[in-house]
Each structure stands twice: as structure tokens, then as C-alpha cells.
Amino acid sequence: MKKIIVLVALFTSALSMAQSSAKAKTLLDDVYNKVKSYDNIYVDFKYALNNKEANINQETRGDVTMKGDKYLFNYLGSQQLFDGSKVYTIVPENEEVTIEAKSTEENTITPSKMLTFYKKGHNYEMDILQTIQGRKIQFVKLTPIDTNSEIKSILLGIDAETKHIYKLIETGKNGTKTTITVNSFKTNQTLSKTLFTFDEAKYKKEGYYIIRN
């Protein structure tokens, strides 16, 4: 009798997990399709890095404008531009510009992938539903399929009404927790035609050192 009860419990648990995974996949597909439907996206965000054991507690902010694979990323006083071919990292403090080819590594999360990275390489299930500042935020838990990944889990908070990503909480196996909270999410903005164009002559004129990798 005990064996039958255990089997029923295991079957019920497996069924519940499968249903949770299916719901999570449906929600993530809705988010992905919503993101892909926009001509361009602007995100202003808060970035927090915490590790209690290492006594690390850092907070900063940044913003990124994305159109297809192209992006303009402002973070920690520097700017990174991808024009579809090359990546330009501009550091005003050092008066330097580093030019390099687009990364070919599939696992590299670039700003243009930050809203769609979850489509590959993860198992997922529904997590808690929270009300934050009057908004219903449904969290989905993502676990890397690769057991050698340095990431233990990712919680992706999704606005249930807009299907926009509101928060990302990444927990590393070393205890480091990275949290990205979206302060502002704008779509289909009027962008300058030269927003994703690097003007090398301008920076040379201003005395910047150009590094080509």
C-alpha cells in the first residue's frame, strides 16, 4: 500500500512539474513574441551585485537602446555600440575606443540578447506571483541545462499584463546574486538614423586613442 501511495505521489509531482513547465514555456513564448514585434526598445535599468561572504554590495544604473541586433549601451561611465558588424567600446575617462569584431560565442549574452537569452539552454518552471507597485509580476525559474554552468538559477519577473520583463535575479554557484530591475521600458521610439553609426573621425579629432582588436 505504501508503495502505491509513493508511486501516486511521484506521478502527481511529475505531472505538476510538467504543467508548470508548460505554463512557463507559454509565458516565455509570449514575452519573446512581444519583444520581437517591436521596431526598437529602450530600457533604463538598475543593476545590483551582492555577495555576503565576499562583502560585496554594489548598485549602479544603465540604459540600452536596441533595434534588431544593433544596440547602444551606456553603463559605468562607458558606452558600447554595435552597428551590426563591429563592437565599439568608448571610455571617455581614458579617452579610448576599442574596436572589435562581433563575438561568435553563442553563450555570450549581449545587450541585444538580454530580453531573449532564455530561449535556449534552460529548463524552466513557474515560480511565485507578486504584486509590486500595483503590478502583477509572475516569476519564472530558469535552471541551466549545462551542469557545468557557473549559474545556479535565474528568476525572471514578468509583468503579467504587458508581458514585459520587469526583473532578472541571477544566482551564481559562488553565492553571487545579480539583480537587474527595469525602471523604464519604451518601445518604437523615433531614433536618429546615425544612432548606431560610429564616427571615427569625430573621436580622432577629440584625441581619443583607437585600439583595434
Residues 154-200: tens digit of each pLDDT: 999 999 999 999 999 999 999 899 999 999 999 999 999 999 999 99
* φ, ψ (nearest 5 deg) of residue 114: -65, -20
Report CA torsion sign: 106, 166, 131, 52. Answer: positive
Specify the pTM: 0.82
- The SS3 of residue 74 is strand
Per CATH, the number for 1-69+108-190 is 2.50.20.10
Q: How confident is the model at residue 88 (pLDDT cuts 50, 70, 90)?
A: very high
- The SS3 of residue 162 is coil
Q: Which residue has the cell 513564448?
A: 29
Domain ranges of the chain: 1-69+108-190
Instruction: Give the chain's radius of gyration (CA, Å).
Output: 21
- The SS3 of residue 5 is helix
**Model confidence pLDDT, tens digit, residues 3-40:** 444 334 433 333 333 455 889 999 999 998 998 899 99
